[in-house]
Chains A and B, each alone.
Chain A
Amino acid sequence: MGAPKQQLSHKQYIFYIYKTQIGIGVLVLPNTLSKMAGNSGWISLLLGWMIATAAGYFIIQVMKRHPGRTFAEVLQDVLGKWIGRAVMTAWIAYAAIAVGVVLFMEVIIIQVWILRNMEQLLLIAAIMIPVFMITRNRLQVQGRYVEFVYLYTLWMPPLLFFSLKDSHVLNLLPIAGDGLLPILYGIKPTLIPFLGFETAYMLYPHLQDKTKAFRGLLIANSLALIIFMTVVVTSTMYFSSEELRTFIWPTMQLLKTITLPFIERFEIVFLSYYIILVTQTLCAYLFFTANGIKDLFGLQDHAKLILPLLVLLLAAAAILKPTLEGMEATNAWYDIVSIGMGYAFPLLFWGLWQARKLGERVLR
């Protein structure tokens, strides 16, 4: 197959992962985190960041030794042809479901906050238009789009500081007041928003500068950590951890505090604009799916797969008619699946790869 032609610069790679991580997760994080870890959630977040970075390290470690090979090929190299293909299929399914989960969740949030009476399928179809247009392009163009997303959403995080004027630092105390255990339990909800770095499996063969792959991943993770930390700390300070448990989307509640002289209910504008960020998450997983299928079956081009995939997704939406309750139930098991795919798999795969290498050395 040769080296893939699609190239991604270092900067684009960082933004790609970083903006894939910023998605629906940020909106719910303070809520899920405070349910587990109370007001010490920020410590769990730090631990979660370490774990995510470690998982990313294992990803790069394996991919580094197979330069020019796609993820599907590496899987087959290490696990054998058939198991490798089966695992790849699992990954494709994982990414495809991720697209669905994120998309449906986004649409539900839009319906709750902005367009109460809008037909759900219409919204889904509308959001699919930019997703389709972006994802069918070469990775190079997707990289440009990510740069745009990064730059044109820079103004959004600082808005969180608007809430600071009414917040109380005391809400953060006592640090680790309930002991160590809640903090450790709190790690689990922090792992979900960090997901997105696993796209590195797919991106690695397309990187211009492969030597800096891990450093880029680390930077992306850290950028995401800054955002998550800001969200968690400001919302804890503003609401207190008791109150946080009652809001499903505390980040949105936080934005309600913004009042400008010429605009009220600023969170409507904010959330509308936020679609740009979520779209990147959608695009990344959709590209993962399409490109995965392409590599698995040795097809020429991923672009032709995008439309059928989206049609399938639309059909799924028409049949399932996602609701908030339904999505929460789905998320409950899908979170576990994604932790398995995003965190357990890299470690396991790296272990297998090491074992295989050792075995080969012994045999020789």
Chain B
Amino acid sequence: MADWKELEAKSFYEATARERAIGMVDEGTWTELAGPKDRLTSPHLPVLGEAVEFDDGVVTGVGLVGKHPVFVASQEGKFIGGAVGEVHGAKIVGAFLLANQVYDKIMAECPDEIEERRPAVVISFETGGVRLHESNAGLLAHAEFMDQIQGSKGKFPVFAVIGSKVGAFGGMGFVAAATDVIIMNTYGRLGLTGPEVIEQEMGKAEFDSADKALVYRTTGARHKYIMRDANYLVEDTIGAFHDCIGEVMDLGYAAIEKMRRIGNEELVDEQLALAELSVELHPKDSRDVWAYYGNENPEQLTEITTAEFLATAKRRP
């Protein structure tokens, strides 16, 4: 199957939401749910004269990774910047609900096989957060995501995969941070307030959003990986994300639970210590932090390949 090989080798960064969704599960196992054929378009956009999309900007469905049923929600940044509206949000919540049902079913029918059959939710983030045209519904959806992630604890892992053009910003930056595992490629960006908004509020001297290199080394994957805000950094192919999800699932749930960055007192203390460090260190640039963690040539860290970076970069202990 040349087509499948092509899909797995395709740049994750270049791929559409649908290509990412299909390629992150095993070959031939993908079923799209609430897809374009269901024509679930936004009820709010037409009155505002805004174009609609049959999937409302998110591809949802299920496939297998090994024996694990994996529920995927993949956001499409080209449609209104991947922003979360009512239908879009409900579809993502739907993925969680189905994962819960499957988890319950496995526990009821074959509880001793849970480790090898444990479901997972994978969200491919490409979004700036709430869709302003339907902001109440969008905000509510964010709250539901957080609730669902909380509810998944102890049952199944939630993956954040980030490596598309828009990145993961706004409220969805919080949502990504609350997942169990974050996987990024080198083009992935994760943050709360978008660079343009920071510049608008704080001035160009504080943060020049036109300086893409600055934006990337502040919000980009390499920085997040060094800081351990991201658990994995992978090559920019759909297959690399697919493989990484499989490898993480193989580690078992106990190991996955340790990958979280928030969620218990110990982790909160760790985050507070980081806040203190930032006051003490007063870094002017993320490179200062990289140097602090023992990287001798911080300006080189953005220039080398992902493989070289993974081999040489020193991360926060």
B is a partner of A: no
Identify the A interface with B (CB < 8 A).
Answer: none
